[in-house]
Amino acid sequence: MLDNAFEALKSYDWGTDAKALKPIDDAIIASHGDGDARLKLEARILAALKTDLSYDAKNMLCRKLRTIGSAASVPALAELLTDEKLSHTSRYALERIPADEAGAALRDALPKVKNAQQIGVMSSLGVRQDNAAVAAIGKLVSSDDAAVALAAARALGAIRTADAAKALTSAKPNDAAKAAAIDSTLACAETLLSDGKKAEALALYKGLLPAAKAKHAKLAVTRGMLACAKK
């Protein structure tokens, strides 16, 4: 059955009945807890991904690697990050792979991609809370491209580290990204506060006072400062 499913991939396109591919899903489920079986299945998916399949079939395989992918999948997925049609599903898979190599692949791709792909890669680095990406993302908060600057500010807010906070406070966001930069800095301050780093959190809250014009931001700054003052 599994052999038939991989054979069916050769003629798969969006809209084609996907029932023939179900044995791949079944095999993924069956491999849970069986390291050898999972590695063999991953290798088979990767081998198929390198063949001349339709974009829809390759998208399908990238989705499978979100569940079963390991460090072994990173090189193949990294190659797809610059592919306009496959970048999104390849990065989604890399988001879920806990290996350090996955984060490195996304960081390496960041200067190589543009527009929507670059925004997507930053989002994935944010999901991974990749502190090693902070310096590169921080530079993009000041981008002339409003969408890129906005995505960069949000990604730093997702990373939520002291380094991310420093990148946000030192950046000069354009008008489109200013509100997101404030919200992301608040997120960093909240994380520092919850980690018991009151002095660092208080410094961020005080720094936000002049810029926090929106009602929710003012309230968050006030509450944060009061929380920092508690013993």
pLDDT (0 to 100) of residue 211: 81
Distance CA 216, CA 56 (A): 43
Burial of 119 (0-12, 13-18, 19+ CB in 10 A): buried
Per-residue pLDDT reduced to its tens digit, 123-169: 999 999 999 999 999 999 999 899 999 999 999 999 999 999 999 99
- Could you tell me the two tokens for 32? 């849970």
Per-residue pLDDT reduced to its tens digit, 61-105: 999 999 999 999 999 999 999 999 999 999 999 999 999 999 999
Q: CA 101 → CA 5, 88, 121, 196, distances in Å? A: 29, 18, 15, 31
- pTM of the predicted structure, to 2 decimals: 0.91
pLDDT (0 to 100) of residue 155: 97
Would you tell me how many other CB atoms lie within 10 Å of the CB of residue 32? 10
In which element (H, E) is residue 115 found?
helix 115-127
Distance CA 45, CA 205 (A): 49
